[in-house]
Amino acid sequence: MPWTPSFLPTSLQDRFAYSVRLLRETIAEQGKRLAVSAPLLWMINARIAQLFRRFTVLATTAPRPVRLRKPNPNAKPAAARPAAARPAKPPPNWPAAYFPGPPPILPRSFGWVRRVVPHCNTNSYINQIEHLLSLAETTELVAAHPGTARALRPLCHMLGIRLPDHLKRPQPAKPRPKRIRKPRHRPDRTGKYKFNADGSIDLTPEQFYDQFGAPPPPVPPWHQPFIPSFDVKKMWRKGP
């Protein structure tokens, strides 16, 4: 009897490719059933394919040393930088003939793919990818090729996968100095009031109004509630 090879792939990269392909097919199929816009579905599949292609290239090439970002001493604070509105840049293979108009802007919240295409198969294939990321083989691959973590971090963010320790961004050797907060100035008002022996305080009318506000203005007589001066029961008649 001839030997039949296994249907499921055995290598780590093949298992990643198999799970990602099933996830993209599920997003396209269930997104169409859930009436998700076609340009948004195309952008989701293109984004997942781009990140996985980057992961595959980085995993098969020679590793590069990790470069830590150096702090810029002349950097302006976030409030001082002008917020330049950049238009959405279409991807290189954007099918403008099928989708006229600008491409949709993808959300940036954590796990937004699960909310755009809420289906059990979507969560199932995302859980498969999360299981593959927790394997020891993935840890060894990321340790040998640190650049693969840069491609997996945005993929985990959009799929709603918590980053394991081997995928977290490396921290610089010198930690940032902690910001020293100035103590909040609270004026001492104990000298303004007269304390009695039993702990009570005698407030002048000005101090009382300063703490609790001025009293409301008096209600004019025409705004007083109407109270009838007759007995309603005596005025009630049974029958005509």
Q: What is the pLDDT of residues 145-175, one digit of tens each?
A: 888 888 899 999 999 999 888 888 877 667 7
Cβ pair 19, 52 in contact under 8 A = no
Q: What is the pLDDT of residues 84-120, one digit of tens each?
A: 545 556 666 777 777 777 778 888 889 898 888 888 8
Cβ pair 113, 158 in contact under 8 A = yes
Q: What is the pLDDT of residues 180-197, one digit of tens each?
A: 887 776 666 666 667 777
Cβ pair 12, 141 in contact under 8 A = yes
Q: How far apart are CA 52 and CA 58, in angstroms?
A: 10
3-state secondary structure of 150: helix
Question: What are 182's two structure tokens?
Answer: 């100035």
pLDDT at position 65 = 64
pTM (2 decimals)? 0.60
